Structure 1
Amino acid sequence: MVYIPPQDKREIENYMDNLQDFINDTSVSQLDPLIKMAIIHHQFESIHPFYDGNGRTGRIINVLYLVINGLLDLPILYLSRYIISNKSEYYRLIQSVRETNDWESWILFILKGVEETAEQTIQLVKGISKLMQNYKFKVRELLKKSYSHELLNNLFSHPYTKIEFVMADVGVTRLTATSYLDKLVQAKLLEKLKSGRYNYYLNIPLINLLMNNSADLRHKDVEQIESVNE
């Protein structure tokens, strides 16, 4: 059975107004935020308000809803991997709610996803923290008195850095920033990659950590899971 979302502009707006009230007005529902998040996700995907990007937007709403309700300090818990790994069940359950009102199975599916994703995210954060401590020791030994915590943070703010990034974050001249980065490359803590006019300094261990954590995510899968009707 192919689901056809609302097509009329006014109908879509009415549904979205109702959903916004459910999200923001606590007097409408006293449900646990995790249960509400599961309901919100289903309703948003069923309304399907945009021509494109409903899946991405729905997953962003998930994590932001947990943040505004105090269940997360930072938006770092994304259900994409879980949904993609279980996309057949995702499709089946989201349609089952529409056909048989089976909210319980849908909510339990999402709660399991939150649990699994939280465990994976905790392991990733621990891995990054351990790697950062390892780099702290090595960079401090390498740069001696020139070491700064701002430089260490710079190396882990993104999987790569640039001379300009170091200049801005550490507050040093271009010559000094270049010297720092070249020393880190020589010590094999960074890998230098030239692209066009620019040099990029890659934190390969950090990239490997992030890539291993998202190994099951492929571009084609992300596109397929955008929404049940995209």
Structure 2
Amino acid sequence: MRFNTEKPYNKLPEILPNEKYWHLLSIYEQANKANRALAELKGRLSAIPNPKIFINTLSLQEARNSSSIENIFTTNDKLFRAFTADSKADPHTKEVLRYGKALTDAFDIIKQNRKFSIKLIEKIYRNIKDKEDGIRDSLVYIGNGHKKTYTPPCCRNIIVKKLNNWISVANSKSDKIDPLIKMAILHYQFEAIHPFEDGNGRAGRVVNVLLLFAYGLLDDPVLYLSKYINEHKSEYYRLLLEVTKSENWEKWLLYMLRAVEETSKYTLKKVLNIMELFEETKEKMQKDAHEIYRFELLEILFSQVYCKYSILIESGIVSSRNTASKYLNKLEEIGILEREKIGKEFVFKNIALYELLKDG
């Protein structure tokens, strides 16, 4: 072991690691599989007229899975309801919603210039934790109970130096390393730096999605990358620590590349299922509710699981509550929507979309 678990690991090496750790046939073979799966997902999404309709529903799934890794649990139903309705949500659901906001806000920023900065990373953390502080200036440790397994670098000046190195590598343009391998290396380094008192894992997983966009691998934040990590959580933490202990990069990189491959395939299947349902709903509306059918209305029904009167009015589809009520009541009548009362307001659930997404 090259470090003392009881002391801040201020000698954490700067990145990138020596090429010998990732110039391996096993890694390149898995990287090719992951790149092909991700490219197919990106290609299918780009062929859809308005892929933005997926962002709310799919980014909320990433938010829920990433939060579950940190033992912050909510159900999809609670999440979808809280996203639409004005009623009070429980603390865990609120945390997941904040993660979703952190992801979409950061994605809007990174789209402007594809550049990372400490300011952006701190914004992600503040959105997740609903706090105003930033880079920590205090000691933290990772472990179970009284046993420390790792003490990250400390304090603020050292953390900032290491983050600046991270940012320099993240923003660099190089053909020498596959971008998915680079993303996996950067994720390890971010977690090892552990720049905040709390929320580092979630912030790091938001950054993963941003890196995929910055490197041209994905156009929208729809990949369920945290689903794989959540399902293989103990391996995730064990392999992170193995890199620190013994520079076991091969197993870590293979793990992350498999995560990209499997979640790309899973997300693609989910997208195709949603698109099939979209077309079925379109046909049903044109047949059974032709008098209110508008493509923009159909898009709204799929942009989030629950809809309400104000959403139709704010979108400009209708100009009054009476007309909004007429539209949603008709869709309820033909079996597309189901009315529910949340607090003091009525919302309308897209029944089939909910069934498709309820298990994540």
| Structure 1 position 99 matched with structure 2 position 235 | no
- Tell me the amino acid that sits aligned with residue 355 of structure 2: N
- Which TM-score applies when normalising by structure 2? 0.57
Say how many residue pairs are matched.
Answer: 212
- Tell me the amino acid that sits aligned with residue 118 of structure 1: S
- Tell me the amino acid that sits aligned with residue 11 of structure 1: I
Question: Which 10-residue stretch deviates more, 45-54 or 171-180?
Answer: 171-180
Give secondary structure in 1 for the equivalent of 2:290: helix
Counterparts of 1:101 and 1:51 in 2: how far apart (Å)?
25
User: Which of 138, 151, 154 in structure 1 is aligned with 2:297?
Assistant: 151
Shift of 1:146: 2.6
Shift of 1:154: 0.8
Shift of 1:145: 3.7
Paired residue for 2:261? 115
Paired residue for 2:173? 26
Counterparts of 2:186 and 2:238 in 1: how far apart (Å)?
17
Give secondary structure in 2 for the equivalent of 1:104: helix
| Structure 1 position 6 matched with structure 2 position 142 | no
- Which TM-score applies when normalising by structure 1? 0.88
CA contact (8 A) 1:5 1:47 kept: yes
- Tell me the amino acid that sits aligned with residue 176 of structure 1: T
Q: Deviations over 1:55-84 (max 9, x none)?
A: 111111111110111100111113211111
Structure having greater relative contact order (Cα 8 Å, sep ≥ 6) = 2
Q: Deviations over 1:5-44 (max 9, x none)?
A: 11211111111000000100225x7311100100010000
User: Which of 166, 169, 186 in structure 2 is aligned with 1:40?
Assistant: 186
Paired residue for 1:176? 323
User: Which of 178, 187, 206 in structure 1 is aligned with 2:334?
Assistant: 187
Counterparts of 1:61 and 1:78 in 2: how far apart (Å)?
13
Paired residue for 1:64? 210
- Tell me the amino acid that sits aligned with residue 266 of structure 2: Q
- Tell me the amino acid that sits aligned with residue 192 of structure 1: R
User: Which of 281, 286, 301 in structure 2 is aligned with 1:140?
Assistant: 286
Give secondary structure in 2 for the equivalent of 1:133: helix
Give secondary structure in 2 for the equivalent of 1:200: strand
Counterparts of 1:165 and 1:211 in 2: how far apart (Å)?
22
- Tell me the amino acid that sits aligned with residue 167 of structure 2: Q
Q: Deviations over 1:137-178 (max 9, x none)?
A: 111112214310010001001011011111222133221111
Counterparts of 1:208 and 1:7 in 2: how far apart (Å)?
47
Counterparts of 1:130 and 1:6 in 2: how far apart (Å)?
49
CA contact (8 A) 1:97 1:103 kept: yes
- Tell me the amino acid that sits aligned with residue 344 of structure 2: R
Shift of 1:182: 0.5
Paired residue for 2:230? 84
Paired residue for 1:196? 343
Shift of 1:106: 0.7
Shift of 1:186: 1.4
Shift of 1:195: 1.9
Paired residue for 1:218? none
CA contact (8 A) 1:190 1:204 kept: yes
Give secondary structure in 2 for the equivalent of 1:146: coil
User: Which of 189, 198, 209 in structure 1 is aligned with 2:356?
Assistant: 209
Shift of 1:208: 1.8
CA contact (8 A) 1:63 1:78 kept: no
- Among the aligned pairs, what percent are the same residue? 44
After superposition, the CA RMSD in angstroms is 1.4
Structure 1 residue runs of 4+, over 6 Å off? Answer: none
Q: Whose helix fraction is larger, Structure 1's or Structure 2's?
A: 1
Counterparts of 1:36 and 1:204 in 2: how far apart (Å)?
41
- Tell me the amino acid that sits aligned with residue 211 of structure 1: K
Counterparts of 2:228 and 2:292 in 1: how far apart (Å)?
43
Give secondary structure in 2 for the equivalent of 1:178: helix
Paired residue for 2:272? 126
Counterparts of 1:143 and 1:73 in 2: how far apart (Å)?
34
Counterparts of 1:145 and 1:30 in 2: how far apart (Å)?
58
